Amino acid sequence: MVGKLEKNPQLDIFNTPLVQFIDLNRPICILARKIGWEEVERDFSEFYSTIGAPSVPIRKIVGMMILKQMYNQSDEQVMGRWLENPYWQYFTGEVNFQKKLPFDPTDFVHFRKRIGKKGAERILKLSIDIHGKSSKDTAIKVDTTVQEKNITFPTDTKLHKKIIEKCQKIAQDNAIELRQSYKRTLPKLMIQQRMRKHPKTRKKAHEAARKIKTIAGRLVRELQRKLPEEQQIRYKEQFRLYHRVLQQQRTSKNKIYSLHEPDVQCIAKGKESKPYEFGNKSSFALTTGTGIIVGALSYKGNPYDGHTLIGQLQQVKRLWGKLPGYDIADRGYRGKTHVLGVEIITPKKLPSSTSEYNKKTFRKRCRSRSAIEPVISNLKQDYRMARNFLKGTTGDAINTMLAAAEFNFNKWLLRYVNYFFHFILKLVRRIFYPEFSFFYA
């Protein structure tokens, strides 16, 4: 059941109203009043049932998620900072200054599971609508990037070691006595398998790696023989994953790179500093004029960039309310000239009969596409896209859309601060230097 915030609690001497000691003209307070929280509560109410104990109020937890992503905080960090920051408490709908945590940090996990991709997309739409007419440009720029997952650099030996450790844990939980646990053998073999490129230790290291793989397969088969039938059903998916890891070779396709994140893909984007990245591919659509993100999608696997355009443009139409006049993309999207009636502009050699004006216009549009690169870098460095800590493909989608939403919110805040600063500057000049007023009219 949906929980409600107290709108006008009775004042007493033990509670301090926030409006008495904070500056309501701060940008974050103005943003809190700009967002239509009633509409947010109405939209997110469909994810709750009508019975049961009251949940965390929707405005409070949605506001906390916005602050978390905007200031690049973890679930635990944002709770601590909320407790000591009255402006954050005002943003989440509190009337009085609070001295205890509003809810447990694990409620973030339950809320993300509850809203899924659909709820994250609504937060992204909210961040687009707040810009009003400034987001109504005629064209967009599209590009893809890799959202890296929170996994270690994958090697087959690491995966085999993890299989052994997980098999030992399964045997311990089900009181199964193994023929040999290998608890002392495994650390010695892990030391021996290092330094494989050194000519003196190469042979010994490869033998140790093969031995670790043999032990992993041996423990998996032994557990499948000794586990009761009802327990085998419970661990069926785990054993299927273990067998895939043990059977995969260097040249295999659809390899497993992580046991706890089996959907992770190895993606090469042609970067000299980072040839391979392990995560998922994400696509972003940016308006050409105002630079607002009007589309953010994550994809399972490693699809060709041109094949992501249909889904991206469909999302842009849902969130933006219309399809763009044209779409500017890089050479990775070659092969697509029109998608859903939208012209796709990619760098190419124009026919010799093209007029100089059209050539100049075409080059100008293609060069403007590079403006999306710093935006992607900003998303990764400041809005928790450099390393994704959320689980599964749903976590990939939620993190991608929330990062784009917080970029839009922060862009609105910066635009408001700059506008206010220039307004004060003009006012000061008009008062003290009226003879030069025609310069900054």
Q: What is the pLDDT of residues 224-260, one digit of tens each?
A: 999 998 999 999 999 999 999 999 998 898 899 999 9
Output the pLDDT for position 440: 44
Arithmetic mean of pLDDT, 275-297:
94
> Of the candidates 89, 64, 57, which has an alpha carbon nearest to the alpha carbon of residue 78?
64
Output the pLDDT for position 438: 45
Judge residue 408's burial from the number of C-beta atoms within 10 Å of its C-beta, 0-12 exposed, 13-18 middle, 19 or more buried.
Answer: buried
Q: In which band, very low, low, confident or very high, does the pLDDT at 53 lie, cut at 50, 70 and 90?
A: confident
Arithmetic mean of pLDDT, 126-147:
88
Per the prediction, the chain carries an average pLDDT of 89
Interatomic CA distance for residues 206 and 196, integer angstroms: 7
From start to end of 240-341, where are the E strands?
265-267, 277-287, 293-299, 326-328, 338-339
Arithmetic mean of pLDDT, 37-45:
91
Residue 192 has pLDDT above 60, yes or no: yes
Q: Note every long-range contact of 247-252, with CB atoms under 8 Å and residues 24 or more positions apart, other chains counting.
A: 248/156
**What is the percent of the chain where pLDDT is above 90?**
70
Output the pLDDT for position 235: 94
* Bridge partners of residue 280, in order along the sequence: 147
Residue with tokens 């989440």, as numbered in its chain: 92
Output the pLDDT for position 2: 83
Residue 179 has pLDDT above 90, yes or no: yes
- b or e along 171-196 (b: 16 or more beta carbons within 10 Å of the residue's beta carbon)? beeeebebeeebeeebeebeebbeee
Interatomic CA distance for residues 306 and 312, integer angstroms: 10
3-class secondary structure, 408: helix
What does the pLDDT look like over 314-337, one tens digit per residue? 999 999 989 999 999 999 898 888
